[in-house]
Amino acid sequence: MRRQIPLLITFVVGVIMLFEAFIPHPPFDQLNESLSITFDVLAAFAFVLGGGNLAKIHLAKISRSQPGWGYSAVTMAGFFAMLAIGLFKVGGPSGVKHALEAEGSWFQAAYDYCFLPLSATTFSLLAFFVASASYRAFRAKNREATVLLIAALIILLGRTLVGAALTETLPGSLELLFGALLAYLAWEQFRSKRWIPLALIGTVAAFVLARTLYGYLILAGGGDFYLLTVPDLVNWIMVVPQLAGQRAIMIGICLGIISMSLRLILGVERSYLGSDTD
């Protein structure tokens, strides 16, 4: 009974939700609406459960005077203060019929002067840690890591003013870089004596470099001799190769979700029930 009934509930609710997608008519559409509201309500109860669990753990720590109990007291003070001013809607218009975010409400003040600075600063700290961790992790150790770094660098340049300014003041700079990269790859092919790739890459490199040098030397930088700007390149990366990779990831995730959903509905996956000792 402890395991069979939950499995039955999961099966029934899952099948109803599946049916609703294919038969959007009564009673399935009404059941879908009711179950969706039930899900939202249970999610709210889960917040209450989370708060209760937090209080249970930290109050036990305080009552036993365990190491760090002072910080638990701070946590509990913040928790109960937020709860009290939110539930009783302290401050603002009289009564509790006004919005939580009403002018002068303490809940809004607690959000503005406590919750917002804490969350924004905590997440902004990640800027430093992401930078240092990525330096250690992706130090261009191999070609794949180099591709990742170059893509990130181009995105960072292109989505800020620096990228636009770079190709405005130095038109054709991207073509020169691209040509130099191709020339390096052609040199690698020459050293490995791979003549067909050398011919292909070498031709493209020569074309790109010759076209850009023609723009600089003959047209003296005038005319639209350049093909690429950093913002255009970023747009192309975002819409073409980046999207192709993202689509592959999304398709993979989707297949995983479908298989996991079927396992849950059919009762094959039971880990969410926990152990029998509960």
Show Cβ contacts of residue 268 under 8 Å, excluding neighbours closer than 6 positions: 262
Q: How far apart are CA 8 and CA 273, in angstroms?
A: 12
Nearest approach, Cβ of residue 11 and other proteins (Å): 7
In whole angstroms, what is the distance from residue 230 CA to residue 236 CA?
A: 10
Q: What is the dihedral of CA 65, 69, 74, 77, to 10 degrees?
A: -30
Contact 209, 179 (CB under 8 A): yes
Closer of 86 and 231 to other proteins (Cβ): 86
Closest to other proteins by CB, 121 vs 169, is 121
Give the DSSP per-residue string, 5-19. Answer: HHHHHHHHHHHHHHH
Question: In the bound complex, what is the minimum distance in angstroms from residue 154's beta carbon to other proteins?
Answer: 8
Instruction: Collapse the DSSP code of 170 into the 3-class scheme (helix H, G, I; strand E, B; otherwise coil) and give the result.
Output: coil
Report, in Å, the least distance between residue 158 CB and other proteins. Answer: 9
**Nearer to other proteins among residue 150 and residue 221 (C-beta):** 150
By beta-carbon proximity to other proteins, the closer residue of 170 and 262 is 262
Structure token pair of residue 141: 């150790």
In angstroms, what is the minimal distance from the CB of 13 to other proteins? Answer: 3
Smallest separation, CB 198 to other proteins (Å): 18
Cα separation, 163 vs 155, in Å, equals: 9
Q: How far is the CB of 220 from other proteins (least distance, A)?
A: 26
Phi-psi label, residue 91: left if phi above 0, alpha if psi -120 to 50, beta otherwise: left
Which CB, 121 or 222, lies closer to other proteins?
121
Pick 192 or 221: Cβ nearer other proteins: 192
